[in-house]
Amino acid sequence: MSASEFDLLRSVTLGQYLPTGSVLHRLDPRVKLLAGLLLLVAVTATSSLAGLALALALVVGGFVVARVPLRYALSGIKPMVPFLALLALLQIVAIPQNDLNTTLLWRWAFVTLTVRDLVAAALLFLKFAVLMWGFSLLSFTTTTTELTHGTEHLLRPLQRIGLPAHEFALMVNIAFRFVPLLATEAERLMKAQASRGADFGGGRRLNFVQRMRKQLPLLVPLILSSLRRAEDLILAMEARCYTGGRGRTHLIHLHAERRDYLALAGILVVLALTVAAGFLSADAVIWRAIASIRTS
Amino acid sequence: MNADSPWIELRDIHYTYLRGTPLEAAALRGVSLEVRAGETVAVIGPTGSGKSTLLQHLNGLLRPQQGQALVLGEDLGNSAVDVREIRRRVGLVFQQPEDQLFERYAGDDVAFGPRNYGLPLDAVRERVREAMESVGLPFEAYKDRLTMTLSGGERRRLALAGVLALEPQMLVLDEPTAGLDPMGRRSLLQYLRVWQDEAERAIVLTTHNMDDVALLADRIYVLVDGRVVRVGPPRQIFGDPGFLLEHGLGLPSATQVVQALAGRGCSVPVDLLTLEEVADAVERLAYERV
């Protein structure tokens, strides 16, 4: 058992802000939000490993420019690995990719494992990882205030069709803000219950049912305290005469500069290539190259 | 563990939160602390001085990153130690423990601990009865009350009962009286004293209420910025009010009265702990002047 048995925040990198003062931090939040959106579209749309590698390079490059320690940034994927592994397994079992063009690696009853299966699973894994890292890059470099302003600005055109841009932005902001709070709260509850003999399986692995049963006593106080926190927040906002977005002025006005447009253009190009890689069958070229190495 | 070795012995404990990430924050920078059988030890210090982090080392919720933690003869640095047994014998009550109740009925919440340790049903029931009675919540009257309908003070005592039901030999309490009304505070302190006097039991507590400290503590550790800056019996620590004020800490009522008297040229001893003692000293002074 390690000292971090209860250290939940340690593994939550998404939603943290790291004030390193890099050029990415100074970028217009709208650009960063748009980049996040584009990344989401591009990564979902592409079906090419090469394309994903490109998007991954973009995100990792972002970490370097933002002066975020790579090990810390990448470790954010750890808590998601079990889910991703399960998804990858489902992908292999439920959607078999066993046409004739692929090499069969392993067969057991009706389950077959082919090279294509492995590629599909890797694609799935990589897609999630790139997205998760991309969004954590966004949160590392952007304060929640900037995020709210950015979202609100970007959504403003949609106000005409009745979308409450301000309220929506605020909602997103609060949701983000609550993630680390909830993690801290959960940690406190786990520790209190562990002090009363609850076993969260420090050293041993618990099975799924056991683990779920341990979570149940955590959920009730966690939900109660979230509700309480939400009510406090409402009171605090109303005490300061908050009545929604109508007629509200802003302390910060966003101005996009040349470097913002340049950054956006650069990101657009890389992500366009990510999507294009799928159509250009870049992977096929790479597979052929690998195959030729193997045969020679 | 031999009979007169301390129950708790921390040596040069260091602890850093989120160690190895850009957000790391040092909470303890070399703390040594000792608790002997039957003792009451108070840890005082400004907010953020590492008090809560320190308490979590006493029952193995946190393992020392550096330094040594000996608790009831076991070295918590050793991962093979049965930490659940340590947690049973060293009962830890968190801040605002009433927020952590989760069962619908009061009795069930107290039973959570004994059940976790696999006691048979009648034994659990007996434990719950004793624990609830010992904090002034009569078992028959309270066991089927809805936890959410109890008052703040009752909920706090119920949470305490949840830990007492494990029959620990030591209690560790993080700000046990914070947020209670005067009545709630008095009764909680009373129950703690009775509990401690029943057998050879030790208490470690943190608090910002110096009257609690003056009333209960045999020894005080002053923690500032993750380091112990002073250790001593209450008379010695409160005998130097300037030092405490300098670190943003409060003073017991008695010390405040003594200071006010000294300001008017009345010289009473500086190391008085209770208002009773101050009254005696003032009375003596009055007789001398007559």
Look at B56 and A193 and tell me if their CB atoms are within 8 Å.
Answer: no
Query: Which band of pLDDT confidence, cut at 50, 70 and 90, is reported for residue A89?
Result: confident
* Closest Cβ–Cβ partner in A6, A197, A203 for B116: A197
Nearest CA of chain B to the CA of A176: how many Å?
Answer: 18
Q: For residues B132 and B139, what is the distance between their CA atoms, to the nearest angstrom? A: 6
Nearest to B69 by CA among B28, B110, B29, B11: B11
Query: Is B171 within 8 Å of B93 (Cβ atoms)?
Result: yes
Residues 1-40 of A with CB under 8 A from B: 1-3, 6-7, 9-10, 16, 18, 20
* Closest Cβ–Cβ partner in B62, B79, B162 for A196: B162
The yes-or-no verdict on residue A5 having pLDDT over 70 is: no
Look at A1 and B18 and tell me if their CB atoms are within 8 Å.
Answer: no
Amino acid sitting at position B200: E
Q: Which domain holds residue A238?
A: 165-254
- pLDDT for the residue numbered A1: 36
The residue ranges of DSSP E strands in A68-218, in sequence order, are 104-108, 111-114
Q: Please compute, for residue B281, the number of CA atoms within 13 A of its CA located in the half-sphere on the CB side.
A: 19
Q: For residues B148 and A216, what is the distance between their CA atoms, to the nearest angstrom? A: 18
Give the tens place of pLDDT for each residue, A110-128.
677 777 788 888 888 899 9
Taking CA atoms, what residue in A is nearest to B162?
A196
Give the tens place of pLDDT for each residue, A138-178.
989 998 888 888 888 888 888 888 888 888 888 888 887 78
A231 part of contact set with chain B, CB < 8 Å: no
Antiparallel, parallel or unpaired: β A111-114 and B227-232:
unpaired
Nearest CA of chain B to the CA of A214: how many Å?
Answer: 11
Q: C-alpha A172: how far from its chain's center?
A: 14
Torsion of the alpha carbons at B113, B114, B117 and B119, rounded to the nearest 10: -160
Q: Please compute, for residue B181, the number of CA atoms within 13 A of its CA located in the half-sphere on the CB side.
A: 6
The size of chain B, in residues, is 290
Residue predicted with more confidence, A1 or A125 = A125
Q: For residues B200 and B124, what is the distance between their CA atoms, to the nearest angstrom? A: 23
Nearest CA of chain A to the CA of B163: how many Å?
Answer: 6
A190 within a domain of the structure (yes/no)? yes
- pLDDT for the residue numbered B101: 87
Q: For residues A195 and B2, what is the distance between their CA atoms, to the nearest angstrom? A: 26
Burial class of residue A52, CB neighbours in 10 A (0-12, 13-18, 19+) = buried
Q: For A75-93, what is the mean pLDDT?
A: 84
- pLDDT for the residue numbered A201: 60
Q: Which residues of A touch B83 (CB under 8 A)?
A: 1, 202
For CA atoms B71, B74, B79, B80, the dihedral sign is negative
Give the tens place of pLDDT for each residue, A13-48.
777 888 888 889 999 999 999 999 999 999 988 888
A96 within a domain of the structure (yes/no)? no
A192 within a domain of the structure (yes/no)? yes
Q: Order the strands of the B40-44 sheet from edge to edge.
A: B90-93, B170-174, B202-206, B40-44, B219-224, B227-232
Q: Which residues of A touch B152 (CB under 8 A)?
A: none
Taking CA atoms, what residue in B is nearest to A200?
B84
A209 within a domain of the structure (yes/no)? yes
Q: Which residues of A touch B113 (CB under 8 A)?
A: 196-197
Nearest CA of chain A to the CA of B90: how many Å?
Answer: 8
A137 within a domain of the structure (yes/no)? no
Helix axes A282-295, A49-65, angle to 10 degrees: 100
Q: For residues A226 and B86, what is the distance between their CA atoms, to the nearest angstrom? A: 32
The size of chain A, in residues, is 296
Q: Which residues of B touch A3 (CB under 8 A)?
A: 62-65
- pLDDT for the residue numbered A178: 81
* Closest Cβ–Cβ partner in B18, B102, B162 for A10: B18
Q: Which residues of B touch A196 (CB under 8 A)?
A: 87, 112-113, 116, 162-163, 166
The yes-or-no verdict on residue A2 having pLDDT over 60 is: no
Identify the contact set of chain B against chain A, taking CB-CB distances under 8 A.
Answer: 17-18, 20-23, 56, 59, 61-65, 79, 83-84, 87-88, 91-94, 97, 99-103, 112-113, 116-117, 162-163, 166
- pLDDT for the residue numbered A101: 62
Taking CA atoms, what residue in A is nearest to B61?
A191
- pLDDT for the residue numbered A287: 72
Q: Which residues of B touch A225 (CB under 8 A)?
A: 99
Regions of chain B short of the pLDDT cut 50: none
Look at A197 and B23 and tell me if their CB atoms are within 8 Å.
Answer: no
Q: Please compute, for residue B124, the number of CA atoms within 13 A of its CA located in the half-sphere on the CB side.
A: 16
The yes-or-no verdict on residue A202 having pLDDT over 60 is: no
DSSP state, residue A206: P
Return the residue in A136, A189, A190, A196 with the most chain B beta carbons within 10 A, the one to mutate for interface testing: A196
Q: Taking CB atoms and an 8 Å cut-off, how many pairs form between chains A and B?
A: 78
Query: Which band of pLDDT confidence, cut at 50, 70 and 90, is reported for residue A65?
Result: very high
- pLDDT for the residue numbered A291: 73
ipTM value for the complex: 0.87
pLDDT mean across residues, chain A: 82
Query: Is A55 within 8 Å of A270 (Cβ atoms)?
Result: yes
Q: Domain B8-251: what homologous superfamily?
A: P-loop containing nucleotide triphosphate hydrolases (3.40.50.300)
Query: Which band of pLDDT confidence, cut at 50, 70 and 90, is reported for residue A137?
Result: very high
* Closest Cβ–Cβ partner in A68, A69, A195 for B87: A195
Structural domain total, chain A: 1
Nearest to A14 by CA among A88, A84, A68, A67: A68
Q: For residues B34 and B220, what is the distance between their CA atoms, to the nearest angstrom? A: 11
